[in-house]
């Protein structure tokens, strides 16, 4: 049995098929974990969503910012631009089933000493606390307030966590940390403008996984979201967004032994 953690697919269905073939994936034996952003901007978002949903219990998916964006547009949020590739999902005859399935995915998955989240975790969160906070968001996404929550999800504020946060501000801060964060200050102030490599960190900020005295130390955090970071394997952190969407590679990391599997991007986004 193998557990393979796969980086941001973003609708690159052909690349996903090639990677699944390379690892000789068998649903009866193996499991696939997806770090989020399974849809959007790549050419085959509908096929990707259907394929991953079709894996059933063999697939574990956490929500990324592009997955949430799809749900936001479905709830009435205006589309951002012409590089979106989600319209075929919205027009599909099985759109309701696909969207309900996506909304039922967790924001964070914890198993043993591994924790998977799309972007990152704030240093002051323990893993049990972070999992409880993720569950707060999941409860709203899976309940009758989903549309109202998604309609007011966009925005960068509040950019710093406090246990005193309530309501939509609390939920937005949780979502932004877990699905959008790259850089933050050592005091936990999140910075959302910069997307480049760690060497281009804005003044006063560091990569979230470099903040000292992180309370989730002792776990290995598995994440994606940061294509400029590329494959990054260090104690306590594995970053798996290797830019397949941009012509890079799609990467899988096997939990049992740390072996890395990669395929070149199989499709062009142009």
Domains located in the chain, CATH noted: 3-264 (3.60.21.10)
Q: What is the pLDDT of residues 10-53, one digit of tens each?
A: 999 999 999 999 999 999 999 999 999 999 999 999 999 999 99
Query: pTM score, two decimals?
Result: 0.97
H runs (alpha helix) in 75-190: 87-91, 95-103, 127-141, 146-151, 167-179
Say what the pLDDT of residue 270 is.
Answer: 46
Neighbours of 160 (CB within 10 A): 16
Average pLDDT estimate for 219-246: 97
| Direct distance between the N- and C-terminal alpha carbons of the chain, in angstroms, rounded to an integer | 37
Average pLDDT estimate for 224-229: 98
Q: Do the Cβ atoms of 195 and 182 come closer than 8 Å?
A: yes
Q: Which helix (H) or strand (E) holds 18?
A: helix 13-22
Contacts of 175 (CB under 8 A, 6+ apart): 68, 107, 137, 153
């Amino acid at each position: 049995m193998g557990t393979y953690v796969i980086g941001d697919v973003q609708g690159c269905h052909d690349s996903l098929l090639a990677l699944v073939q390379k690892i000789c994936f068998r649903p009866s034996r193996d499991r696939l974990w997806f770090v989020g952003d399974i849809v959007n901007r790549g050419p085959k978002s509908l096929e990707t969503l259907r394929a991953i949903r079709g894996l059933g219990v063999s697939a574990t998916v956490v929500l990324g910012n592009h997955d949430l964006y799809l749900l936001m547009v479905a709830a009435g949020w205006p589309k951002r631009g012409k590089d979106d590739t989600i319209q075929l999902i919205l027009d599909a005859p099985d759109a309701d089933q696909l969207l309900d399935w996506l909304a039922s995915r967790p924001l964070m998955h914890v198993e043993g000493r591994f924790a998977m989240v799309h972007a990152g975790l704030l240093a002051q969160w323990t893993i049990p606390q972070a999992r409880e906070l993720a569950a707060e968001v999941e409860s709203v996404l899976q309940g009758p307030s989903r549309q109202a929550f998604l309609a007011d999800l966009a925005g960068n504020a509040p950019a710093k966590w406090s246990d005193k946060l309530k309501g939509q501000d609390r939920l937005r801060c949780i979502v932004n940390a877990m699905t959008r964060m790259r850089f933050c200050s050592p005091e936990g102030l999140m910075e959302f403008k910069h997307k480049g490599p760690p060497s281009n960190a804005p003044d006063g900020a560091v990569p979230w996984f470099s903040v000292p005295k992180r309370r989730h130390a002792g776990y290995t955090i598995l994440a994606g979201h940061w294509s400029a970071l590329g494959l990054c394997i260090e104690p306590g952190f594995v970053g798996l967004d290797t830019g397949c969407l941009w012509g890079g590679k799609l990467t899988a990391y096997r939990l049992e032994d740390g072996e890395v599997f990669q395929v070149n991007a199989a499709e062009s986004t142009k």
